[in-house]
Amino acid sequence: MTEYEFKTLNPMRFMEIVQEREKCFAEASGGLEGNKWQSNELAKLLHPGDRNMVVSKVIEHSRDCRSFILTMEDQTQKPAFFSAGQYVCVRLDINGNILSRPYSISSSPKESLAGYYRISVKKYNQGLATEYIYNNWKEGSIVKVSEPMGFFTYEPLRDSKNIIGVAGGMGITPLLSMAKAICEGTQRHKLTILYGCSGEHAAVFKDELEEICSRTSDVQVRYVYGNITVDDIVNARCSFCDAEDVSVFVCGPGGLYQYIESQSEQILDKLNIEEYKKHKYIRFESFAESRKTCGEMPEYVNFTVKIRDKVMNFKARTDVTILRSLEENAVPALSGCRGGQCGYCRSKLLSGDVYIPEKTDGRRLADSKYSYLHPCCSFPITDIELEVPSIK
């Protein structure tokens, strides 16, 4: 009888346990001890959310490129530490329209410890946000800035120690931060940057890059005036002639992204990377906004937007992303990457139809099942009814 001995155990012991429990409670402190965990402290310091920063310096690189040095409005606080390659979103209130735009941090992580971020902004013709920034951001302006976000970072357990950085225009910004991090010794790998721009006059970070190269042999820069080609990338491989493998980090406008995508077979072949490792070794950050490529459509549709207990109605264009329409109609919608990947803008489609380009569809499986979408890369096809999360 297996259970014989078991049955001799005292079932009344439970009563003692109950008493012991009361004793434990009685003997415990009745004070509010507060939270002493470093984990919670780190979570707050690394992810402080949106905060006010001061434009403490404006640097004019060229007619259409400026950098802004941002420091904390509240001097007792520090900008959150970040990984080179990450971006912040600047939140702009333009006559009641709440716009958010991502900008890669072009200063180094170490510089954030000294109290500032630098972002570098190119002006677009008829760009709603950049126009505003150029007209309004002066020394002393207070601006709302998100915590650092994004995954376009060097990961030692994943990436090769030899990186070819392919930068198209302003795509230089995250790679510049990485170059600085290498120079300062906080990131340990080699980096050869292909800096693609329209001409020498547009290579506004040239001096800064030359300065870095003079200090460390781990960073090299090659300037490409005009479009970057497969050959440029293959030639850059020579900087690491005895290296076993290389990672390629691509950052820039949509055209560059498409070019690299379309030539990826050749690139892999010439860099000696096996086809199945394509996604491991070629990594992208696209600065371009999602574009619509589907057929005939009415020009305008009706939007009904629920945000908490508020309902808003307006007409919106079908050729821009839903997020853009929300922003232009004063809906305080959340966003991060604006490329379908981060999920910050995730909203529920209550009725209507949308078009979502496959390339930027970064939704989770169950989101598709339950009609959630990312407004930053979805386009309305019919009238739509949408529920969006609120900015805290």
Partner 1 sequence: MTKKYDVIVIGAGNAGLAAAATAAATGMKTLLIEKNVYPGGCATSFRRGRFEFETALHELANVGTEENPGTIRKIFSDFGIDVNWHIDDTAFRVITADYDVTMPAGVEKFCCEMEKNVPGSYDSVRAVFRLGKKANEAFKYLSSGKPDPNVMMTKHRDFMIMASHSVDTCLNALNMPQRAQNILNTYWSYIGAPSDRLDFLFYVIILDRYINLGPAMPIMRSHEITSAFEDSVRRNGGEIWYGTKVEEIIMKDGKALGVKIGEKEIYGSKIIANCHPGCSFGSLIREDHIPERALKIHNARKNGAQFFTMYIGLCKDAASLGINDYTLILYDSPLSVKQYEGCRGLDTSFIMVNCLNCAFKSASPEGTSMLYFTSVFTEDILKDVTTEGYKDFKNHVAEAMIKRYEEKAGISITPYIEEIVTSSPATFARYINTPGGTPYGYEVSLWDSMIARILNSKNERLFGNLWFVGAHGERTDGYNSAISNGIDAAKSAIKEIKQDRETIA
Residue whose CB is less far from ligand FES, 163 or 307? 307
Which residue's Cβ lies closest to ligand FES? 376
Restricting to residues 284-303, which ones interact with ligand FAD according to CB under 6 A?
A: 285, 287, 289, 291
- Contact in structure between 377 and 291 (CB atoms under 8 Å): no
Contact region for partner 1 (CB under 8 A) — 40-48, 96-104, 119-127, 218-226?
Answer: 40-48
Selection from partner 1, ligand FES, ligand FAD, none that 285 binds (CB < 5 to 8 A by kind) is ligand FAD
Q: Closest approach of Cβ 367 to ligand FES, in Å?
A: 11
| 37 near partner 1, rule: CB under 8 A | yes
Q: Closest approach of Cβ 286 to ligand FES, in Å?
A: 12
Contact region for partner 1 (CB under 8 A) — 6-14, 115-123, 193-201, 248-256?
Answer: 6-14
Whole-number Å distance between alpha carbons of 148 and 167 = 20
Which SS3 state, helix, strand or coil, does residue 117 take?
Answer: strand
Site size toward ligand FAD, by CB under 6 A: 27
Site size toward partner 1, by CB under 8 A: 72
Q: Closest approach of Cβ 300 to ligand FES, in Å?
A: 23
Restricting to residues 94-153, which ones interact with partner 1 according to CB under 8 A?
A: 109, 113, 151
Whole-number Å distance between alpha carbons of 117 and 99 = 20
Q: Is the dihedral of CA 150, 151, 155, 160 positive or negative?
A: negative
Q: Is the dihedral of CA 199, 200, 205, 210 positive or negative?
A: positive
Whole-number Å distance between alpha carbons of 182 and 190 = 8
Q: Closest approach of Cβ 149 to ligand FES, in Å?
A: 9
DSSP 178-221: HHHHHHTTSS-SEEEEEEEESSGGG-TTHHHHHHHHHH-TTEEE
Residue whose CB is less far from partner 1, 45 or 230? 45
The alpha carbon torsion through 240, 243, 248, 249 (nearest 10 deg) reads: -70
Q: Closest approach of Cβ 39 to ligand FAD, in Å?
A: 28
- Contact in structure between 313 and 329 (CB atoms under 8 Å): no
Selection from ligand FES, ligand FAD, partner 1, none that 120 binds (CB < 5 to 8 A by kind) is ligand FAD
